Structure formats: C-alpha cells, structure tokens
Amino acid sequence: AAVRKAGLTLPDVEATTRYDGSPILRLGGVFMAGLASHASAEVGTLVVRMAVEERDVLVEEAPETYYVTDHYRPHPVVLVRLLHIDQAALPDLLSTAWRMAAVKARYRGRAKRPP
C-alpha cells in the first residue's frame, strides 16, 4: 500500500497488475516497480527499475535492504526487502524508477517529458 501510494504521487503513473495478477506501477506502459514473482527472490521483495550502476551502489551500501539475484542481474532493477526499507527512502527510490521509465516511455512515444 505504501509503495502504491508513493508511486501514484508521481506524474502519469498508473497502478495496474501484471499477467500473473500481482500489483505493479507503470509509466506510459513501462514497468517501474512491482512485487517480485521469480522464485529466486525472497518473499516480500519489491522489484524496482534502476540503473545497474546505481543498483550496485545500493547493494554494497545496504545489503540488508537491497539485493539482486542471478535471475534479475541482467536487468536494470534492484530487489528491495520491504520489511527493511526506510519508508522515507521509498519516494526517492520510486522517483529514480520513474525517471528511468520516462526515458523508455518517451522513446516509445508514450510519455511526456519529465517536469
């Protein structure tokens, strides 16, 4: 609920569901964040779009909160243990995902320029 609330404060974000029925946030049809569904992720994990370089820094600085598995490693995402994330960090994390999704959505012609 906190992820959805924080995500919906960002421009043009929609809360929807993935093919398996799990909740996700999208911008212009581009994935931003959602619950991890792959078996390699821990229960209660959020997948958030993030540049690989930024992800690596987060994982190194706070491995109790952020991690990546072999399945997710090739993708520009970070895995977030929802029980460990500081709620104050959530809006910044989703803003980062929004910026990355906006670039891809603009490339596809589905989103406005960021404010």
The confidence band for 112, taking pLDDT boundaries of 50, 70 and 90, is: low
Residue 10 DSSP label: S
In angstroms, what CA-CA distances link 27 with 5, 22, 99?
15, 17, 10
Cβ pair 102, 115 in contact under 8 A? no
> What pLDDT score does 95 carry?
95
> What pLDDT score does 6 carry?
94
The confidence band for 106, taking pLDDT boundaries of 50, 70 and 90, is: confident
Q: Which residue has the tokens 């959530």?
A: 90
Looking at the DSSP assignment, which residues form a beta bridge with residue 30? 27
